Structure 1
């Protein structure tokens, strides 16, 4: 992947590590527990993606990801009360993580010549599996059980990236458009309480 996509991946790793560590802090985990949940949140989806597409797991070849997770966790340990009081900040970071990881998962799958359908699935998994693991190991209400559009936002972001890529738009521009679109879609869905139908 190009250097700009590496930076996007670093951003996603850091912000998802912060959200994982902050949820762990709210659940009264100790520092190691916070680090564990930050790790699961930030690399869970990408790990599964790389295993499925038959590539080396990204964080095993680049220790920068591990340092980012540690720094994010340590900073959150001291700032957890600030994050707890500023729900909108956590929402911003979580949405940024969804957008960046959706881009990385989709882009990485496409550059290894998988079809668009596989790229869509891998992009969505990259963006949401970490949050699912975060919910499973903490007291957080599962993001899959929430009424808001979460996995749907990730899937739409992946679809947009695929469409822009097929249209031969420069990848960096694609990434910027998708991140903006991710924020718009999520915040509009929350503001107007847009939901998919579910069984009663």
Structure 2
């Protein structure tokens, strides 16, 4: 249990870092750093817990807020040393997505015992924080980028759920699922992997319909 909870802290810390990096790109003040780090770090997990009807994790344990604040301060004083902050944001987001899709799936299974619910919780936990960050910061949304994003989170959540149901020890299933999600997202960032998109066709005119 302690080992899987580490993924929760890792997801919060890494997503908080991406929020703070977004604040640095917008040249916000320290309050802006703290706000974006907090929203990004705990946003997905908050919605997950509300949907599950579980106690909201950062209300029960204030250490998560401390993690977000510490990361925000660290990035505030060091972001200027980073050559490409947006690229680092994408890679940290990939790590956070991989950690959080696994933890969200684990918590979904723990609370409901349902694999479909666990997969949805993994998706929700892994993606909502980044979506909120980009929306608030006015950055191009990671959700709308051409390369795969949600697919990586889904693969991680599905892998963890199936491996756990198959009887693999929790930490082994978590590590394997983390590797799956990160590998897919990393490949998407590095090589531009994408899923074929919808191509619309002009609609027929009313007079052409028999």
Aligned with 2:137: secondary structure?
coil
User: Alignment length, in residue pairs?
Assistant: 199
Q: Whole-Å Cα distance in 1 between the matches of residues 191 and 25 of structure 2? A: 28
Contact 2:108 2:121 in 1 (8 A): yes
- Show the counterpart of 1:182: 181
Note the aligned Cα RMSD (angstroms). Answer: 1.5
1:97 aligns with 2:96: yes
Q: Whole-Å Cα distance in 2 between the matches of residues 115 and 189 of structure 1? A: 29
- Show the counterpart of 1:30: 29
Q: Whole-Å Cα distance in 1 between the matches of residues 5 and 91 of structure 2? A: 21
Q: What does 1:117-128 align with in structure 2 at a 5 Å threshold?
A: 117-128=116-127
Q: Whole-Å Cα distance in 1 between the matches of residues 180 and 142 of structure 2? A: 20
Contact 1:83 1:90 in 2 (8 A): no
Deviation of 1:148 (Å)? 1.3
Q: What does 1:100-115 align with in structure 2 at a 5 Å threshold?
A: 100-115=99-114
- Show the counterpart of 1:166: 165
Q: What does 1:139-158 align with in structure 2 at a 5 Å threshold?
A: 139-158=138-157
- Show the counterpart of 1:10: 9
Deviation of 1:84 (Å)? 4.8
Q: Which runs of 5+ in 1 are unaligned?
A: none
Contact 2:22 2:89 in 1 (8 A): no
Deviation of 1:17 (Å)? 0.4
Q: Whole-Å Cα distance in 2 between the matches of residues 51 and 28 of structure 1? A: 32
Name the larger-Rg structure.
2
1:42 aligns with 2:41: yes
Contact 2:43 2:129 in 1 (8 A): yes
Q: Whole-Å Cα distance in 2 between the matches of residues 42 and 12 of structure 1? A: 7
Contact 2:44 2:126 in 1 (8 A): yes
Q: TM-score, normalised on structure 1?
A: 0.93
The C-alpha deviation readout for 1:118-151, integer Å capped at 9, x for no partner, is 1111100000000000011012101121111111
Aligned with 1:144: secondary structure?
helix
Q: Which runs of 5+ in 2 are unaligned?
A: 200-210
Q: TM-score, normalised on structure 2?
A: 0.89
- Show the counterpart of 1:138: 137
